[in-house]
Amino acid sequence: MRQGNLRMKRTILAAIIAILAVCLTGCSKAGDIKVTSCDLVSLSPAGLRSIDGTVAVGIHNPIFGFKVTGTSGKVYYKGSELVDFTVDDFDVNGKSDEKYNLTGHASLARGVSLLSVLGLARNINAADYTVDVSATVKAKGLHKTIVRNGIPLEKMMEAAR
């Protein structure tokens, strides 16, 4: 049971990383900003229904610096809400290739039991999951909220590779 729980936590964290990749490419010149690497730094339970984590994310940003704020979203399994998540605000330096330690929090949605999630962890199929995400990108003269709904998790995980 412990292995399934860890596997599900890592899957959720991978989803959050992939979501950040989609958010970052939502800015100006979407094709130019890329997530170049992802490494799990830490993962810790925060009670029985949530986790906190830190991920080192490599970002190639050939344009101006910007700040990503208010990142939040939901993960769905076959259309049913499974997880709510947030990512702490972070800055991306302009014209850089750097690694950033991003921290976040994920918790089970209301009505979802830990036992049901552990059952899902045994047979994870990314095609069964979709994600809604919202984030605001701020820079000099730019303040844009990016909202993406129904993003297939499979597609997002490919973007983060």
Burial class (CB in 10 A: 0-12, 13-18, 19+), 31: exposed
**Spatial distance between the Cα atoms of 66 and 139, rounded to a whole number of angstroms:** 5
The pLDDT of residue 63 is: 85
Q: What's the DSSP call for residue 66?
A: E
Residue 3's pLDDT is what? 59
pLDDT for position 82 = 93
End-to-end CA separation in angstroms for the chain: 28
For position 31, what pLDDT does the model report? 55
- The predicted model scores a pTM of 0.75
Specify the pLDDT at position 10.
64
Flag residues of the chain having pLDDT under 50.
Answer: 1, 27-28, 30
pLDDT of amino acid 99? 94
Predicted pLDDT of residue 141: 79
Quote the radius of gyration of the chain (alpha carbons, Å).
Answer: 15
